[in-house]
Amino acid sequence: MYGLCGSYRRVLKLPRVLIIETLCRAAVPAKLRKSFTTIEEMPSVPSSPEISSFRDNVDLIKFENKTIYLVGTAHISKKSTQLAEDIIREVKPDTVAIELCLPRYQSLQDPERWKKTDIVSVIRAGKAFVLMAQLLLAGFQKKLGGQLDIKPGAEMLRAAQVADELGAKLVFADREIRITLKRTWASLSIRSMFRLLMAMGNGVLGDQKISEEEIEKMKSSDALHELMKDFSDKLPEVRKTLIDERDQYLTSKVQDAPGEVIVAVVGAGHVPGMKQLLGSTIDIGPLEIIPEKSALSRITAWALPAAVLALIVWGFFSSGAGTSFEMINAWFWINGLFAAFGAALALAHPLTILAAFVSAPFTSLNPFIASGWVAGLVEAMLRKPLVSDLENIADDVVTLKGIWSNRVSRILLVVALTNIFGALGAIFGVGWISSMIK
């Protein structure tokens, strides 16, 4: 795991490296079994697996008619890449399971994938934040891989290649990243959301240096235990969706894999949880569900528009039509100026800034559309991304200058900053018009 990358004390003051790596891995649906919230809630194991050490970072697990070689890796380690290949060639398994989902595997195989991005469709679908997160993760991967002269995820790709050479079946054992990201985001409190964003930003834009020796040290059980404890203390919701749920998902896919001899190549951070879970009955169905908005959240989404309209009506009856008109005027200017400032901060086109200003007072009253989406679409039409922007996006997003200069990342920045400042303007606007009622 990228959480294995670097000195625990130096790199993981916040567990940003671990967080970023775990966001980069996810999976495809599989058959249903039983899910539990934490490992401690696991029911009694129907059959006790025999677990022994096969060699460093490789556990041999036997239960029922299965023999599983669990290979714990660091995703930017040449030694891990070689270890995965050596084990597969040595034991010649029926199946190789890797900690990737099919979309993630395809993206690693196709480094030119960003050229196919339709930024307008992304904004219209309301997926700008997801794309920005994926771009930041891709840039982070490339940054770390460049330090150690290895492609992130190389051990997974090599395991798949060797499996194909030997005629072994290949299983994509991880949950799809789209589901993992949405389940993680839905579980976060405002405080945790802020801490996660700060950790990601520090990880991507920070200047931490990581050596191969530090990576290998982080694969030890003691270091992993301390790292996971720190992760749990600081971001328990993230730990649940990114680590515990995926431990369950990976375990289910591995023990359900066809054949009697299986090699499972996973990040070392998943090994302890998987060793506890192997042999148990797991229902992964609930783990594949993207949570819907609760009734409370839907009601809350309409609370602001209802409050604004109620205040304006109240102002009309208590202070007259003049006050009501002044409240509407104040609402328009406060919302518009805040959103326009956000767009300007992203160095948007002047017409984009104008679009943010005009749309914000109305989109703030409509939970189904955001001023950032409007501004982003206008920016995309006025400054269409060039082929070079798509080619260089993974390199550009690791520096502030690159984020603002690349047209793709700048469009996404326009969406984000316009939405953030537009929301602040709406909150400030409610307070302002409330004070106008006499």
In this structure, are 175 and 59 located in the same domain?
Answer: yes
pLDDT given at position 369? 86
Same domain, residue pair 306 and 241: no
Lowest mean pLDDT among 65-74, 114-123, 316-325, 424-433: 114-123
User: What's the chain's average pLDDT?
Assistant: 78
Could you list the residue range(s) of the whole structural domain that residue 148 is in? 2-288
Residue 139 has pLDDT above 50, yes or no: yes
Same domain, 201 and 337: no
pLDDT tens for 77-112 read 788 899 999 999 999 999 999 999 998 888 788 766
Q: Is pLDDT above 90 for 167?
A: yes
Contact status, residue 16 vs residue 200, Cβ threshold 8 Å: yes
Q: Same structural domain for residues 338 and 284?
A: no
Amino acid (one-letter) located at 333: W
270 lies in the same domain as 339: no
**Which of 269, 288, 307 is where one domain is finished?**
288
154, two tokens: 């190389």
Number of domains in the chain: 2
**Residue 170 belongs to what H/E stretch?**
strand 169-172
pTM: predicted TM-score of the whole model, two decimal places: 0.68
105 and 221: one domain?
yes
Amino acid, single-letter form, for residue 75: H
Express each pLDDT in 16-46 by its tens digit.
Answer: 444 444 444 433 333 333 444 444 444 444 5
* 338: CB partners within 8 A, 6+ apart: 360, 421, 422, 424, 425, 426, 428
Q: What order of strands is seen across the sheet that includes strand 95-98?
A: 50-55, 58-63, 66-73, 261-267, 95-98, 169-172
How much is the pLDDT for 31? 36
- The reported pLDDT for the residue numbered 375 is 94
Q: Is there a single domain that holds both residue 281 and residue 339?
A: no
Residues 308 and 282 in one domain: no
Q: Are residues 127 and 209 in the same domain?
A: yes
pLDDT above 70 covers what percent of the chain? 66
Could you read off the pLDDT of 369-414 as tens digits, one per residue?
A: 889 989 999 998 898 877 666 667 666 666 777 778 888 888 888 9
The whole-angstrom separation of Cα 437 and Cα 426 is 17
Question: Measuring CA to CA, which residue among 83, 109, 106 is closest to residue 215?
Answer: 83
The mean pLDDT of 341-357, rounded to a whole number, is 95
Residue after which a domain boundary falls, among 236, 263, 288:
288
- The answer to whether residues 68 and 143 belong to one domain is yes
pLDDT, residue 154, reads 86
Cα within 13 Å of Cα(399), Cβ side:
7
Residue 329 and residue 324: Cα distance in Å, rounded? 9
Greatest C-alpha distance within the chain? 85
Whether 382 and 351 have beta carbons less than 8 Å apart is answered as yes
More confident residue, 196 or 182: 182
Whether residues 271 and 356 share a domain: the answer is no
Distance from chain centroid for Cα 129 = 10
One domain for residues 211 and 358:
no
